[in-house]
Structure 1
Amino acid sequence: MRNIIKIVLAILFFICLADMPYGYYQLVRFVAFIGFSILTYQDYQQGKQTEMFIYGVLALLFQPFLKIALGRELWNIVDVIVGIGLIISIWKQPKKSNT
């Protein structure tokens, strides 16, 4: 489930680089807020403090209630960095032992 959330969010962020209607960006903010909130809660349950903090900050950054005006260029940079970070985090997960 975690990987699905990360992949969906990464795809949504990369699509943000195209010239989309404003409603799409609002949808992305809402979906990102929910996705990052879920990831934050899961990391809280697993005791992963660093990841919990990162996803919590991202949930606040993308939250749809109070718009954070960074400008289109800066938002594009944020979208790319977060999208790449999400993809990398899928492959950097610690391997589960068989014991």
Structure 2
Amino acid sequence: MTKYLKITLSILLLSCLLPLPYGYFQFVRFAGMLVFSYLAYRASDKKNKSEVFIYISLAILFQPFIKIALGRTVWNIVDIVVAVVLLLTITTSSKKK
């Protein structure tokens, strides 16, 4: 399940590079907050403290309630980096199994 959540969120983040309505970006922030919170919960079950910290930090960064104004360019870079890292975690976790 986490694999599909990561893929879906990566697609949503990469689509933020397109000129879409502002409501879409709000949706992506809310979805990101939910997915990163879930991933933090799953990482805490596995006792992986570093992943918990990273996912909680990302959930706070993407939360839609208190805006973190980084500017469009910086947000695009953040979206790309986070999407690529999420996709890389899928490949590295499947190699470990």
User: Which residue does the alignment assign to 1:84?
Assistant: 84
User: Which residue does the alignment assign to 1:95?
Assistant: 96
Does 32-41 or 87-96 show the bigger shift?
87-96
Q: Which letter maps to 1:85?
A: V
Show CA shifts across 1:6-38 (max 9, x none): 001100000000001000000000000000000
Root-mean-square deviation (CA, aligned residues, Å) is 0.8
Q: Return the alpha-carbon distance in structure 1 between the equivalents of residues 82 and 17 of structure 2.
A: 13
In the alignment of these two chains, the number of paired residues is 96
Between the aligned residues of both structures, percent identity stands at: 49
Structure having the higher Rg: 1
Q: Return the alpha-carbon distance in structure 1 between the equivalents of residues 29 and 96 of structure 2.
A: 31
Q: Return the alpha-carbon distance in structure 1 between the equivalents of residues 31 and 61 of structure 2.
A: 12
Cα distance, 1:95 vs structure 2: 2.5
SS at match of 2:45: helix
Confirm whether residue 30 of structure 1 aligns to residue 30 of structure 2.
yes
Cα distance, 1:65 vs structure 2: 0.7
Moved over 6 A (4+): none
TM-score, normalised by the number of residues in structure 2: 0.96
Which blocks of at least 5 consecutive residues in structure 1 are unaligned? none
SS at match of 1:92: helix
